[in-house]
Amino acid sequence: MVGSAIVRHLLAGGLSAGNLLFRTHAELDLTDQVSVRGYFEKEKPDQVYLAAAKVGGIHANNSYPAEFIYQNLMIEANIIHEAWRVGVQKLLFLGSSCIYPKLASQPMGENALLTGPLEPTNEPYAIAKIAGIKLCESYNRQYGESHGTDYRSVMPTNLYGPGDNYHPENSHVIPAMIRRFHEAKEAGAPVVMLWGTGTPCREFLYVDDMAAASIHVMHLDKATFEAHTTPMQSHINVGSGQEVTIRELAGTIATVIGYEGSIAFDAAKPDGSPRKLMDSGRLNNLGWQPKVGLEEGLALAYQDFLFNCQSLHSSITQ
């Protein structure tokens, strides 16, 4: 989802498709060091946007902790190291807001990193993302002067939009709700049951805003970037600055989709962190602001879901 959005923005900014390198998971297993090494030795890119990751919602994180920590550690270690080996000087690593402690002061600034225990359900994924930040910082510290290494990290809040994963169990909260409410509307179901109490607050960012922020940070001149960061706290938060409760989010999605039934919550299911609002002041001071509001973004995401559903139905009937 994020990688596709970054590609859209790079092309819209004037970069030709011939100057972009892509590989699907089927073409290149990023957890395989030998394959990644061969790829970088062959292609020798000038810049790398590291958006690849194994991701999922609270159910997926809870169910597959070993896969989440192993695959994400291997992906980032292989790409960052092999990029350095072939002389890549510019790399952007995309992390996650879950790197911050479960009970971090709100809104969460970059200095909250490593100040307390993580939220248990996604701790393995969070630790992998923290390791990615520290990989970038370590290569900068050791090879910045000798090799010109300039590896940066951005920490997005919860993302949604075109290209999202709408799997009924392993998706994030917005795509999961979009599918749930759409199917309830189609079936005429009187009630939609959702996990948790509905009280946790979350911040959401439309994926094309994240892509624009990623390119903005990548293109900052080094002096400006270093003036707003420190060598061992160099990551930058990327958020919308707005938060809603899960209950409010559910109501908005139901309205966008046109579902008119009731919404109920199963309080026996986990809530996750009570609140996760990012402090994106550092990025705002560097000249970036989001453009797409939540309701507008949800409508665009629903159109993407409908398109994907129609494509899937068409391929099955044919």
Q: SS3 for 151?
A: strand
Catalytic one of 39, 49, 100, 125? 125
Quote the tokens at residue 189.
Answer: 């179901």
What phi-psi label fits residue 163: left (phi over 0), alpha (psi between -120 and 50 degrees) or beta?
left
Distance CA 302, CA 93 (A): 28
Give pairs for 257-262: CB < 8 Å, separation 24+.
257/178, 257/181, 257/182, 257/185, 257/302, 258/185, 259/181, 259/182, 259/184, 259/185, 259/192, 260/185, 261/184, 261/189, 261/190, 261/191, 261/192, 262/190, 262/191, 262/192
Report how far apart, in Å, the C-alpha atoms of 233 and of each of 30, 62, 115, 154, 238 are: 26, 29, 13, 11, 15
- Beta-strand pair 90-94/150-156: parallel
**257 touches 178 (CB < 8 A):** yes
Report how far apart, in Å, the C-alpha atoms of 133 and of each of 67, 73, 106, 116 are: 19, 11, 21, 17
Known active-site residue 151? no
Q: Which residue has the tokens 């000249």?
A: 287
Show which residues are catalytic.
125
